[in-house]
Amino acid sequence: MPDMPDDRGQNTEDREQKPCCGEAANIRQPAQGADKNLPSVFCPLSSGTLLAFDFGTRRIGIAVGNTLLRRANPLTTIDDEKTDARFAKIAALLAEWQPCALVVGLPVNDDGTPHELTALCRRFANRLKGRFDLPVILVDERYTSHSASAALNEQGIHGREQKKLIDQYAAQQILQAYFDEPTAGLIV
């Protein structure tokens, strides 16, 4: 895994004084083909940590990034189908990393229309917001699994070896997409 600055030991008083990336959001019209039910948001990226999620019915990939460096890194994969166990593991990660916002990949078809996982992903994003009271931003996750697989191939990790890593690398792609184009995010 690439080196990443570790701000977990940062004084929590300092962390609480910094504005978070969801606080001064400017609402704009959704991009063409975007979900009209969710407003698109521009979040000024101030100092803070973000966690990103690649939601799946079997596994959830998680990535972490810092808004100052605007660089995402794979973190872990939760391999559990039980909701309570998943949220307990997410709660532990939130306590450890103290993110200012969460980013969730929104699965859609190639043409931007919803598919069978879209509603489940929205429900997951709403649960994150409700349980943890943090801003949650949805990001189009088209082609992230393909990009994640290509990144793993470049590292010499192929085929079945990718199974335990692919979701966290897809979450990395989702978070990096948000860092590269924050105006494409949809706030929950």
- CATH number, domain containing residue 130: 3.30.420.140
- DSSP structural state of residue 44: -
Count of Cβ atoms closer than 10 Å to residue 120 Cβ: 13
* 24 found inside a domain: no
In the block, residue with structure tokens 């943890």: 132
Tens of pLDDT along the chain (188 residues) come to 444 444 444 433 333 333 344 433 332 333 444 444 444 444 444 579 999 999 999 999 999 999 999 999 999 999 999 999 999 999 999 999 999 999 999 999 989 899 999 999 999 999 999 999 999 999 999 878 778 878 888 888 888 888 889 899 999 999 999 999 988 888 88
How far apart (Å, rounded) are the C-alpha atoms in residues 2 and 61? 17
**165: buried, middle or exposed (CB in 10 Å: 19+, 13-18, 0-12)?**
buried
* 45 found inside a domain: yes
* 19 found inside a domain: no
Q: Tell me the longest C-alpha to C-alpha distance in the chain.
A: 45
What pLDDT score was predicted for residue 157?
82
What pLDDT score was predicted for residue 148?
83
* Cβ–Cβ under 8 Å, residues 57 and 81: yes
**Domain that includes residue 92, residue range:** 37-187
3-state secondary structure of 13: helix
What pLDDT score was predicted for residue 163?
84
What pLDDT score was predicted for residue 29?
34
Q: What is the pTM of this model?
A: 0.76
Total structural domains within the chain: 1
What pLDDT score was predicted for residue 14?
38
Secondary structure element (H or E) that encloses residue 53, with its range? strand 49-54
Secondary structure element (H or E) that encloses residue 62, with its range? strand 59-66
